[in-house]
Structure 1
Amino acid sequence: MTIALRHARVRYGPLEALHGITLAAPSPGLTVLLGRNGSGRTTALRALAGTVPLSGGSVVWDGADVTHAPAFERARRGLCLIPERQAVFGSLTVRENLELAAPSHDTALAAYPQLEPLLARRAGTLSGGEQRMLALSRALSARARVVLVDEPAQGMSPAIATRTYELLAALDACVVVAEQRMPPALRGRPALVYELSRGAVVFGGEAGELLTGEAGGRTPRACPVDGRGSRG
């Protein structure tokens, strides 16, 4: 199973944020979208999730064109988007947030035991890192088929960030994360990487290829990527 953007274009008014990009994320597996602010990585996540419409191209999930499927329908099919901001229901308690994903808290608390003493707290009063843990634990409890996360470890301590990437990498799902740079916790792990710049894909390949190019002081070579996810 894969979820893919094929020649996807997204416009915000007169500005085009994605310039016909093609990328594919396999399942199970980890895919990393890299890029600075304004590169289009967050827009690519939103396009996959259906929270922004395409002005051109398509979204294909498991061989079916879902370009015009609304975000709630994709969520119903098993897609979970964790945005960078407002990823939890601030007026609800931690316990109530978890219950929206699954009746049992066992999976969430096993992933992040730090949440247990916070169950009665309103989610809006948590620190940024605690809110990220809560948002991610909801995705883990829901057993989503596709998990899209914008900067998963934002606000977390290094130890909890490492734990977070371990949890994401171990999921039996299609996991796509958006980051400004390759997280240290993912170096050495098998992952597919796309680097975006100004709304275009400038590199597509295995993480090892990207890191080898960086270590040698070379700009990684862009790899052609077709709509089925093959790279040549």
Structure 2
Amino acid sequence: MSIALRHARVRYGPLEALHGVTLVAPGPGLTVLLGRNGSGRTTALRALAGTVALSAGAVVWDGTDVTGLSAFERARRGLRLVPERRAVFGSLTVAENLELAGADLAPALDAYPQLAPLLPRPAGTLSGGEQRMVALSRALLARARVLLVDEPAQGMSPTVAARTYELLGALDACVVVAEQRLPPGLRERTGRTTFVHELSRGAVVFSGEAAERTPGRPHRRR
């Protein structure tokens, strides 16, 4: 199980956001696309999902070139994208948001018990961190084969953020997240290996295991 970009280029008008990026996210397991704003990490995530088109290169899923498949078709095959913004239906209640992904809400409430008292509230009235919990719970209920999440712990307390990464890391899926910084604990995480691809100005500057990436040292290409 894996999803990959091969020599991927993405253009927004005259500007090229990805410059021939190659990266692989193996699964089941967790891969982090790391980088500052403007590095290309979110564009890489969207390219994998099919919500932005490649101007060159390919998206390869389990050895099959899916570059020509629409985002809808990729979703039908088990890929889920949780964007940074507009990840919930604000006019629907929390319960209604979750019911769109599955009739049984128990797994979502087991993952985030904090959502139980919020079930009757419109999702648009929740805090940013609470909305992230709803969006991620929907993704968990969908049982995706590939789960792509842009800044999963945004707005969460450190405790809930740690719980979120514990949940993501335990999924039987290929999980790819985009973050500005490597989340605490992933470098020393036991069990499954966490992989990191660090991007800068639309190019990969580091690829390897999270434990290999030492803060403060020059990044290296592979």
Q: Which residue of 1 aligns with 2:203?
A: 200
Q: Which residue of 1 aligns with 2:194?
A: 191
**Aligned residue runs from structure 1 range 139-218, under 5 A:** 139-189=139-189, 190-211=193-214, 214=215, 217-218=216-217
Q: Which residue of 2 aligns with 1:87?
A: 87
Following superposition, the deviation at residue 185 of structure 1 comes to 3.2
> TM-score, normalising length from structure 1?
0.93
Output the CA distance in 1 between the equivalents of 2:91 and 2:68.
32
Q: Kindly report the root-mean-square deviation, in angstroms, between the aligned alpha carbons of the 2 structures.
A: 0.8
Aligned 8 A contact 1:94 1:120 in 2: yes
Following superposition, the deviation at residue 221 of structure 1 comes to 1.9
5+ unaligned residues in a row in structure 1: which ranges?
Answer: 224-232
The number of residue pairs the alignment matches comes to: 219
Output the CA distance in 2 between the equivalents of 1:125 and 1:16.
37
Aligned 8 A contact 1:40 1:198 in 2: yes
Aligned 8 A contact 1:38 1:198 in 2: yes
Following superposition, the deviation at residue 36 of structure 1 comes to 0.3
Aligned 8 A contact 1:165 1:185 in 2: no
Q: Which residue of 2 aligns with 1:219?
A: 218
Output the CA distance in 2 between the equivalents of 1:45 and 1:66.
15
Output the CA distance in 1 between the equivalents of 2:59 and 2:113.
36
- Residue deviations 1:15-36, cap 9 Å, x none? 0000010001111011000000
- Residue deviations 1:178-198, cap 9 Å, x none? 000101132312211000000
Output the CA distance in 1 between the equivalents of 2:187 and 2:114.
26
**Aligned residue runs from structure 1 range 33-72, under 5 A:** 33-72=33-72
Output the CA distance in 2 between the equivalents of 1:128 and 1:218.
33
Output the CA distance in 1 between the equivalents of 2:217 and 2:162.
27
- Residue deviations 1:28-51, cap 9 Å, x none? 011000000000000000000000
**Aligned residue identity for 2:205:** V
| Mapped pair 1:123 → 2:118 | no
Which contiguous aligned blocks of 4+ residues in structure 1 show a shift greater than 4 angstroms? none
**Aligned residue identity for 2:202:** G
**Aligned residue identity for 1:218:** R
**Aligned residue identity for 2:88:** V
> TM-score, normalising length from structure 2?
0.97
Following superposition, the deviation at residue 220 of structure 1 comes to 2.7
